[in-house]
Structure 1
Amino acid sequence: MADSSAEEKVALFALLAERPHKMSWSAIASEVALRGSAADMWNELHPPTFEGMNDEGGRLSDAQSQLDEWASGDFDVVTVLDSGYPTSLREIYDLPPVLFTKGELQADVVGVSVVGSRKASDPGVQIAANLARGLVDRGISVISGLAAGIDAAAHTAAIDAGGRPIGVIGTGIDLAYPAANRDLHARVAEAGALISQFFPGAPPRRQHFPMRNAVMSGIGRASIVVEASEHSGARIQARLAVEHGRPVILTNLVVDATEWGRALIGRPGVHVASSTADAMSIVEDVLSSDMRSDRTLPVFSLSG
């Protein structure tokens, strides 16, 4: 798939603004990807005039103005129609239509999420770092949400080990949340890729973070939940993992501390790891299974 043309990008953003038939953005993304063209969908809804595409409501002009403004930013705009859009992300039902990125986002990335509680314990931080280093040693990108605690520990260790981190954030690509992780955002972008599905300038909102987790799930091939509380956002990620049909690896810290973690034991694709070596063995089995199959099967990430 080649990169989308300027006309296709304009049509896509016009569709996102219009939301025809009250379609969700993910539904629009799926329809556009299926057709291979946003302009085709726009023209079906708005029959062209003699002058070309129909812009009676001005949405095409607005989209062009927005894209022109973003063109001067220090980030890239990757749509579901572009060859640089992650292949694994196309396989989930709630795929985002557009990603704003800094750094180098590889379409065929092989990554595993290392995520968990923002209020991490010292053992949890150490486990996250050990897991990140183990993934880097195997040439696997470390995916996380750049939150405080487990996320930050995993990304810091990955960078220090010379790996390629992938940070998926719940704000616009031009913002850092929490602010204390601003330098880490920059380091992640320099060493790997920083990704947001939200428009530049979008502040952190409660509903953004489950959406962020879905993207982490879609890009990843496996997920390791290091540490989480009973009411952690990791519960949301676990639900999404089940919906996506993708594996989750829970450490003993999660199983021992949460009822929801224990409730997951025995569910298809859910594994419990008692050590770093155990977790790495599970990851290797998952990746080997993917390589033996005819399809790429991304796995799931949990964020605390």
Structure 2
Amino acid sequence: MEARFADSTDTAGPVWDDRERAALVALLRVRPQRLSWRDITAEVTAEGSARKVWEKYVTPGLFGEEEEPVRHAAHEIAAWNAQGLGFLTFLDGDYPVRLREIHEMPPVLFYRGTLVPGERAVSVVGSRAASERGLGIAATLARNLVEREITVISGLAKGIDTAAHTAALEARGRTVACLGTGVEMYYPAENRRLQERIAQQGLVLSQFWPDTPPRQQNFPMRNAVMSGYGRATIIVEAGEKSGARIQARQAVAHGRQVVLTDFVVANNEWARELVDRPGVHVAGSTREVMDIVENAVFDQQSADDLIARLVELARWSHQQSNGR
């Protein structure tokens, strides 16, 4: 797989190849001068090359040999490929276009399952300690989304997430699980079989190194990816300190549509504070939620979506013409 920074028809632009990917992984692993991942991403974007950024910050002798971390990164990438793990950098052509739109764009992604470029997707999220009513609503919404050929995104957590994923699979639809761990981990442990099933029938996606265990700070980052990947976020049931609260706020910042059930608004101050924000809707029934999804979210494709689809088509055509 090969992608160019320049327009896909421009043969003069710098090539993003395996050497560049290895240099990016080395930068993210080493973090020279304590650069954040976001800083590294910005510099690689500005330079058009991870190797140039590596050479800028890493002098010979600093690690015994200047290229040792890059060689190690190349071996890591080869091992991930051998294990059947999907690996993408933010400059690869298959990287989800909508994630490039958000401030928290992950520089790398790992996945198991099947990528679907430009897919229509909506997050269904909520409390881990969900009520039976909430679980039922999540399952109904997931089935309704599947009926409309909309992908169900959730976070594989207990409660609402599990209900949404399970209902989507049972309805023979597509679901995407965004993890707060690496793709080689199973959290919570009781969802191991569900995670494997999603990997076989949908997509398991993570921005963390494959062996990353669950850490508290990972889950808000996971919520940002869920918000960015989809067109909208539906909050079924949540508390004042729920992770769903974080995703709702992130979705507003991302310019995504947010649908809050009236139950969430009635029971949470943070939800009431969001009600008057642009793109935030309140629904009193599953029918109202689906009306909002159909009319406010997917009624008309935005110019940005059309441009993104054209870019993806151009990249695909360029890859086909070059035998990739």
Which structure is richer in relative contact order (CA contacts within 8 A, separation 6 or more)? 1
Correspondence for 2:27: 15
What CA distance in whole angstroms lies between the structure 2 residues aligned with 1:167 and 1:276?
22
Report the AA paired with residue 40 of structure 2: I
What CA distance in whole angstroms lies between the structure 2 residues aligned with 1:206 and 1:121?
24
TM-score (norm 2): 0.83
What CA distance in whole angstroms lies between the structure 2 residues aligned with 1:289 and 1:20?
46
**Structure 1 residues 83 and 260, CA, compared in 2 at 3 Å: closer, same or farther?**
same
Correspondence for 1:52: none
Correspondence for 2:316: none
Aligned partners of 2:235 and 2:248 also within 8 Å: no
Deviations 1:129-158, CA, capped at 9 Å, x for gaps:
111111111111000000010000001111
Aligned partners of 1:252 and 1:272 also within 8 Å: yes
Aligned partners of 1:77 and 1:100 also within 8 Å: yes
What CA distance in whole angstroms lies between the structure 1 residues aligned with 2:204 and 2:227?
15
What CA distance in whole angstroms lies between the structure 1 residues aligned with 2:46 and 2:230?
22
Deviations 1:40-84, CA, capped at 9 Å, x for gaps:
433444589xxxxxx626321221232233233231111112111
Report the AA paired with residue 73 of structure 1: Q
1:294 aligns with 2:303: yes
Between the aligned residues of both structures, percent identity stands at: 52
Report the AA paired with residue 19 of structure 1: R
What CA distance in whole angstroms lies between the structure 1 residues aligned with 2:200 and 2:29?
32
Correspondence for 2:66: 56
Q: State the shift of 1:197 in Å.
A: 0.8
1:171 aligns with 2:181: yes
Q: State the shift of 1:208 in Å.
A: 0.4
Q: State the shift of 1:170 in Å.
A: 0.6
**Structure 1 residues 195 and 66, CA, compared in 2 at 3 Å: closer, same or farther?**
same
State which of 211, 214, 227 in structure 2 corresponds to 1:217.
Answer: 227
What CA distance in whole angstroms lies between the structure 2 residues aligned with 1:265 and 1:244?
16
Report the AA paired with residue 227 of structure 1: E
Q: State the shift of 1:254 in Å.
A: 0.7
Aligned partners of 1:226 and 1:254 also within 8 Å: yes
RMSD: 2.3
TM-score (norm 1): 0.89
What CA distance in whole angstroms lies between the structure 2 residues aligned with 1:88 and 1:290?
17
Q: Which blocks of at least 5 consecutive residues in structure 1 are unaligned?
A: 49-54, 299-304
1:285 aligns with 2:295: yes
Deviations 1:200-235, CA, capped at 9 Å, x for gaps:
111100000000001101101001000001221222
Classify the secondary structure of the residue corresponding to 1:296: helix
Report the AA paired with residue 10 of structure 1: A
Kindly tell me the number of residue pairs found equivalent between the two proteins: 292
